[in-house]
Structure 1
Amino acid sequence: MAQKAKKSTKSSRQVTAAKNSGSQKGMVYSATALVVIVAVIATFILIKLNKSSSSATATNSLAPAAVVSAVTKVPNSALAAATVPTSSIPLPYAVKNTALLTSNSKPVVLYMGADYCPYCAAQRWPLIIALSKFGTFKNLHTTSSSSTDVYPNTQTFSFYGSSYSSPYINFQSVEMQTNIPSNGSYTTLQTPTTAQNNIFNTYDKPPYTATATGIPFIDYGNQLIEGGPAYSPAILAGLSRASIAGSLTITGTVTNQAILPSANLIIASICKIDKNQPGSICSMAPVATVEKLLK
């Protein structure tokens, strides 16, 4: 589970008008100098913003339709065959005596991550598979984890720029930072709302998660808390997105054995908070078996 990188901050200098020297000529020179300084500062800010914007879009692009289809349409039969090794995969932490978090009368599933994070890169594969059983994604994007972090350039998706609709749950995603280095951290991509940040600060720490301020972080309606992926990003090392997507339903491949059980764990967590809807997915043997353990 990656530690949340500190967000970079930008500072600006305040320009104050020169005091009246008592000389009309001095006032003209001061005013002229002030205009020049302001213009220079404005130019630098504009260049900085344009450069940041173009860099951010270069690392995050619309996912190919074939890859999206392979990940969002994993057959139920493939998931039913993927048992969850609960002895090696940690179960989400069950929060006691807390009201179910809802939005528009639907349970909230909150994901917090970042594009640079290799652990988030690994987690998005089973998360997208699982969420696709409850709703529909539009405009999923692709990205890769940081080239300078552990498990560099892990191929994955980004929720930034996408949308999701479901009759059962309200999925909220926050990709907090890009994979673009900036002063020892990474540039900001999305900022959590106050409510999302409060949840993150409340539950993203022991005993709910193994470490404090780590990502990826998933909150299932304030009932179950999941910190970190259920499998190592090392499994995806050197693999393209197309090869990962294409191997998901091939029994015996390392990606099949790691990602589908992780998806079943996420499905079970969602079924736990949405009254087991839809029944066709929540009643599957691996899902139903794991759900009974989530208490």
Structure 2
Amino acid sequence: MSKRVEQKSRARERVAAQRAAELRAERRKRLLLALGAVAVVIIVVGGLVAVRLAGGGKETSTGPSGAADTSLITALKSIPASTFAAVGSDGVQAAPSAITAPALTADGKPKVLYIGAEFCPYCAAERWPVTVALSRFGNFSNLGTTHSAGNDVFPNTATLSFHGASYTSQYLAFTGVETTTNEEVNGQYAPLDTPAAADQSTFDTYNKPPYVQSAGSIPFVDLGGKFVTSGASYSPELLAGKTQTEIADALKDPASPIAKAVDGSANVYTAALCQLTNNQPGAVCTTDAVKAAAGKLGKS
């Protein structure tokens, strides 16, 4: 009996030793998994820090798309009247042309239609004067920030985005369409906004000669069915290396080349918009700079 008891005791000891070994192995496995997870977190955080230090914030020219902060929107809306007056429009080389077409309206108000794409450097340049001009008649919300594609001409031009933005005004309605992002997927820029059927029809009908110089160019802007323009009114090269904040700050300085281009073009857009609103608001439409800019508008 004692021998049998001894055998059973040894068997129990072997089983206990095996279970203890399995528990130690399981603990080692869990520890290695935990260490691996910590390592991944460290790598990810380190990568994000590196991107941020390299200029990956939303306000850098190479930053990702994001929301425009309040200070940026405020800066675009608070350009001094004296700056618009000093800049004028003498240096503006391209302006909207008058067309004969049915009125473009929404909610009983003249409608401004913008169609562009986030990858496009010319769209990047033109969003600035379009936004500045419209900000003299109303308010944007959910305005975005982005940059043009890094592998196109004038790469990574800092700009705004109308994707997801809304606009309120007692004078005007606005529709902003960004058809693609600035990021390629399988060799093509990823789709973003799809124009409504009526807006696509406007684009197809008036974004070609004789209304504009070349067919299908972007950005395309239709101002109430009275004026259209396509392309940029100044070279995106002017904005090279600038952040959104730096561009917005430059718009207040009439001596800045950026202000002369952007504010000058905004004066011309404003002159066109004043023709849609019967010269309202008077504080904007009756200024000497806006009245002089009306002479830049192309004839039908």
- 1:159 pairs with one of 134, 155, 162: 162
CA distance in 1, matches of 2:254, 2:291: 21
CA distance in 1, matches of 2:149, 2:206: 26
Tell me what 1:287 maps to. 290
Tell me what 1:65 maps to. 70
**Letter of the structure 2 residue corresponding to residue 77 of structure 1:** S
Alignment of 1:199-238 (within 5 A): 199-238=202-241
CA distance in 2, matches of 1:74, 1:182: 38
CA distance in 1, matches of 2:153, 2:118: 13
CA distance in 2, matches of 1:198, 1:59: 31
Q: Bigger CA drift: 168-177 or 66-75?
A: 66-75
Tell me what 2:112 maps to. 109
* Closer, same or farther: CA 99–157 of 1 in aligned 2, 3 Å: same
Confirm or deny: 8 A CA contact 2:94 2:234 kept in the other structure.
Answer: no
- 1:85 pairs with one of 52, 73, 90: 90
Confirm or deny: 8 A CA contact 1:177 1:190 kept in the other structure.
Answer: yes
CA distance in 2, matches of 1:292, 1:149: 34
Post-superposition shift, 1:94? 1.1
CA distance in 1, matches of 2:272, 2:155: 29
* Closer, same or farther: CA 265–293 of 1 in aligned 2, 3 Å: closer
Task: Calculate the TM-score normalised by the size of structure 2.
Answer: 0.75
CA distance in 1, matches of 2:230, 2:278: 23
CA distance in 1, matches of 2:210, 2:251: 33
- 1:280 counterpart SS class: helix
Tell me what 1:12 maps to. none
Superposition CA RMSD, Å:
1.7
Say if 2:163 is the partner of 1:137: no
Alignment of 1:26-45 (within 5 A): none
Confirm or deny: 8 A CA contact 1:271 1:291 kept in the other structure.
Answer: no
Structure (1/2) with the larger helix percentage = 2
Q: Which runs of 5+ in 2 are unaligned?
A: 1-57
Structure 1 segments (4+ residues) deviating >6 Å: none
Post-superposition shift, 1:184? 3.3
Task: Calculate the TM-score normalised by the size of structure 1.
Answer: 0.77
Tell me what 1:124 maps to. 127
CA distance in 2, matches of 1:162, 1:228: 21
Q: Which runs of 5+ in 1 are unaligned?
A: 1-56
CA distance in 1, matches of 2:268, 2:295: 11
Q: Report the count of equivalent residues.
A: 237
- 2:87 counterpart SS class: coil
CA distance in 1, matches of 2:160, 2:107: 27
CA distance in 1, matches of 2:254, 2:80: 13
Confirm or deny: 8 A CA contact 1:59 1:179 kept in the other structure.
Answer: no
Post-superposition shift, 1:237? 0.4
- 1:242 counterpart SS class: helix
Deviations 1:99-135 (CA, angstroms, capped at 9, x unpaired): 3222221001100011101111111111111111100
Confirm or deny: 8 A CA contact 2:115 2:176 kept in the other structure.
Answer: yes
**Letter of the structure 2 residue corresponding to residue 251 of structure 1:** P
Tell me what 2:279 maps to. 276
Post-superposition shift, 1:251? 2.4
CA distance in 1, matches of 2:223, 2:278: 13
CA distance in 2, matches of 1:174, 1:202: 17
Post-superposition shift, 1:293? 5.1
